Amino acid sequence: MRTRPLYDVVAALARVGVGIIFMAHGWQKIEAGITATGRSFDSLGVPLPTAAAIYSAFVEVLGGAALIAGLGLPITGVLLFMDMAGAFLFVHAENGVFLVDGGKIEDGYELVLALGLASLLFAAGGGGRLTVDRWIVARRLHNPDTEEEEEDDAASFVDSLRGTETPPAEQPPKKRRRATKTQPEPAETPDDSDNSEEDVMVAGARKAARKQRTPGVTEEL
């Protein structure tokens, strides 16, 4: 538990040191000019000297800053390693190990080898936890519902836009009004007519019965 924080601090210091060296060399190329750097690369036998000058200058400046911040270390480390691999193969490999030997500038490959392997180490995950990459991952792990909340917010925003485009429709009240209009009033007229007809028939039957009874009464009298 105690060695992990120590490793993180040491890795951060290593990233800062390597990043400063890369930024210094890249800025040196930019100050000299891309054209002049391309001519220098051409004299050293580097293929595509202008493209190589542009790549090395900007990758070293931006990549060095990314190393210091710990941003995109897998990609940054690979790009810087490729830069140093090209410098090793086309410029420094044939000059031996030492940059300076016996007071004589040999321009060997010791610096590009150390910088290239350090960049590869950072790309493989050796940059420690004091990085921007680690902070982004930790934030996502502590907030697993962030993407879902963003999707919900986007969906609610789209729904609100749709709601403003279409007028609010009050369907349930309309249906109730239509139902009250179409509902027939309780009509009791058929029952009343049937009752009146029955009353007429009963009255007629009574009259007929009275007529039938009156002759019989006269005969008895």
Domain residue ranges in the chain: 3-142, 172-221
Whether 126 and 74 have beta carbons less than 8 Å apart is answered as no
What is the spatial distance between Cα 129 and Cα 96, in angstroms, rounded to a whole number?
A: 36
Averaged pLDDT for residues 195-221: 58
Whether 68 and 19 have beta carbons less than 8 Å apart is answered as yes
What is the average per-residue pLDDT within 183-204?
56
- What local confidence, expressed as pLDDT, does residue 177 receive? 53
Better pLDDT: 100 or 171 = 100
pLDDT category at 172 given cuts 50, 70, 90 is low
Average pLDDT of the chain?
80
Mean pLDDT of the 120-131 span: 93
Q: What is the pLDDT of residue 176?
A: 54
Residue 171 has pLDDT above 50, yes or no: yes
- pLDDT for residue 1: 47
Question: What 3 state SS string does the chain have?
Answer: CCHHHHHHHHHHHHHHHHHHHHHHHHHHHHHHCHHHHHHHHHHCCCCCHHHHHHHHHHHHHHHHHHHHHCCCHHHHHHHHHHHHHHHHHHHHHHHCCCCEECCEECCCCHHHHHHHHHHHHHHCCCCCCCCHHHHHHHHHHHCCCHHHHHHHHHHHHHHHHHHHHCCCCCHHHHHHHHHHHHCCCCCCHHHHHHHHHHHHHHHHHHHHHHHHHHHHHHHHC
Residue 218's pLDDT is what? 42
The answer to whether residue 161 scores a pLDDT higher than 70 is no
In which region does residue 101 sit, left (phi positive, over 0), alpha (psi from -120 to 50) or beta (all else)? beta
- Write down the pLDDT at residue 212: 61
Q: Write down the pLDDT at residue 103.
A: 82
Beta bridge partners of 101: 104
Residue type, 126: G
Residue 4 has what pLDDT? 86
pLDDT band, residue 9 (cuts 50/70/90): very high
Predicted TM-score (pTM) of this structure: 0.63
Angle at 81 between CA 95 and CA 76, to 5 degrees: 150
Assess whether pLDDT exceeds 70 at residue 139: yes
